[in-house]
Amino acid sequence: MALPKINLPISELILPSNGKKIKYRPFTVKEEKILLVAQESGEAENEVLAMKQIINNCMIDYSIDDIALFDFEYVYLTLRARSVDNLAKFVIKDPDTGEEVQLELDMTDIEVYREEGHTNEVKINDDYTLFLKYPNVDSFIKIIAANENDPLVNYFIMVACLDTLASEDEVHSFKDYSDEEVEEFMDGLSGDVIRDITTFFETMPKIRKELPYTNSEGKEQTFVVEGTRSFFI
């Protein structure tokens, strides 16, 4: 007689980027093994790939390819909090004293930080407006796998987030064009447009948590938890 399969509870969460409701199941021992192996490697790419695999395993009827990077972080933290423990304890070094300080992060207290004035629309000229999309986890994996000294890394990020180019009469989707055609388009953009695209990335929503503490000299300090790898704890 085969061992019975254990039914796992199904929960729901709302994606911060678009308000869509998705269903998920909690971690199992299988997912915890994936975490342990990735943590042991200490490699950034392995850690993010592990997070992707776990979320793919646990999401129900929803593709991870459809979610923005900050959605990805939010889903992972929700899974981690509901499946393992909502409290994560870790040690940092105080920048002034060099002492080790133990901090505690409540993952249920994490929210998406949004900067005022952020927009995904970039005005090209009187006729055309460029619409940008948020980077997904696959774009992020390519970025961290690239040589950090490569001057084209920022260019790759921009191209990966081009969505549509629209006027009153037509809409062009960048996915319908070749790499050569997109490169020719990018080469023709002015410096002001590039700066506006850069602002989109600098101000886009992010998962962020400030953790205040007092060091041994009585100075009040703040440790900021931000970015995908920061939450791999």
Contact of 146 with 154, CB cutoff 8 Å = no
In angstroms, the CA 55 to CA 72 distance is 8
Question: Residue 166 pLDDT more than 70?
Answer: yes
Percent of the chain residues topping a pLDDT of 70: 94
- Mean pLDDT over all residues of the chain? 88
Per-residue pLDDT band for 200 (boundaries 50, 70, 90) equals: very high
Token digits of residue 80 = 């981690």
Give the mean pLDDT of 129-146: 85
Is the pLDDT at 47 greater than 80, yes or no?
Answer: yes
For residue 69, the one-letter residue type is L
Q: Which residues pair with 130 in a beta bridge?
A: 122, 165
pLDDT at 184 over 60: yes
| pLDDT confidence band for 108 (50 / 70 / 90) | confident
The strand order across the sheet containing 162-166 reads 121-123, 129-132, 162-166, 171-173
Write out the H or E segment, with its range, that includes residue 191.
Answer: helix 191-203
Contact 62, 22 (CB under 8 A): yes
- Position 54 scores a pLDDT of 92
Q: What is the dihedral of CA 200, 202, 203, 204, to 10 degrees?
A: 70
Cα–Cα distance between 219 and 149 in angstroms, integer? 36
The tokens describing 11, both together, are 């929960």
Query: Is residue 23 within 8 Å of 15, Cβ to Cβ?
Result: no
Phi, psi of 62 (to 5 degrees): -150, 135
Can you count the helices (H) and strands (E) in the chain?
Answer: 7, 12
Higher pLDDT, 225 or 193: 193
Instruction: Tell me which of 157 and 228 has the higher pLDDT.
Output: 157
Q: Which residue has the higher pLDDT, 191 or 64?
A: 191
